[in-house]
Structure 1
Amino acid sequence: MTAVARFRSVVLDCPDPHALAAFYAAVVGGTPVAEDDEWVVLQVPDGPRIAFQRAEGHTPPEWPRADRNGQQFHLDLDAGSTWAEIDAAEGKILALGARPLRQEDKEDFRVYADPAGHPFCLCRIEHP
């Protein structure tokens, strides 16, 4: 099948694009580039672009609600293959301003909200 378009960016609405771009740069790497006060782009090393767009009156998603302003989407981040790596990553993201939404070690992921309230997961991935 021939593609209609090429993937460009994931764009997150937020009240402060500079602050949220800095949060994700600290989590996944890269350097945020501000086009203006309304739009900041982060090119993830060896990964996609994440863009951050100012949205006045932004209402964060409510996770895990599906009936009103639910999750909408989330990012899965590979945080290593051991629980020790996940624990270390968790300490760092919490220090950066993330907050836990769901912590169940029986799962291979833990769910957090970024500073603007978007859900994301630290995933335990078995690497070959």
Structure 2
Amino acid sequence: MSVARYRSVVLDCPDPRSLAEFYAAVGGGTPQVEDDDWVVLEVPDGPRLAFQRAEGLAPPEWPRSDRNSQQFHIDFDAGSTWEEIDAAHEKVLALGARPLDLEDREKKDFQVYADPAGHPFCLCRIERS
């Protein structure tokens, strides 16, 4: 038996509303603004994400393991073909994402980006059976 039920993943960021809007555009859902410091996004068929104001946030540095490492990242299923991944790539760039690692995608089946606040996330190619 579990101790508690999953509630949400919370991302610290300088602007909760804009980061929630970014992830809503990527994964769906509508941001629910509770106040200037806290915004919640219920992702359809996905996790509940919350965004908390953190002034002076030092974003993670990818791929570091010594200090200021990524700590965690979010994976998105962006389709089963590279054409779908390429289309998703263009869309996340237009939304303000920054590429971190686009190398060897055929071997890894994912590409790594930073969201507008600097948190890493991946667009993953998921083969369908």
TM bucket, shorter chain? over 0.9
1:119 match? 120
The superposition leaves residues 61-101 of structure 1 with CA deviations (integer Å, 9 ceiling, x where unpaired) of 00001111101100010000000000000000000000000
Name the SS for the 2:18 alignment partner.
helix
1:22 match? 21
- The number of residues matched between the two structures is 127
Question: 1:90 and 1:20 mapped to 2: Cα distance?
Answer: 18
Deviation at 1:48, TM superposition (A): 1.1
2:103 is aligned with 1:99:
no
Question: 1:68 and 1:62 mapped to 2: Cα distance?
Answer: 8
The superposition leaves residues 20-58 of structure 1 with CA deviations (integer Å, 9 ceiling, x where unpaired) of 000000000000001100000000011110000000111
Normalised to the residue count of structure 1, the TM-score between the two structures is 0.97
1:37 match? 36
Question: 1:109 and 1:86 mapped to 2: Cα distance?
Answer: 9
1:67 match? 66
Name the SS for the 1:51 alignment partner.
strand
Runs of 4 or more, structure 1, over 2 Å off, are none
1:80 match? 79
In structure 1, list runs of 5 or more residues that go unmatched.
none
Question: 1:70 and 1:19 mapped to 2: Cα distance?
Answer: 23
RMSD of Structure 2 on Structure 1 (CA) = 0.6
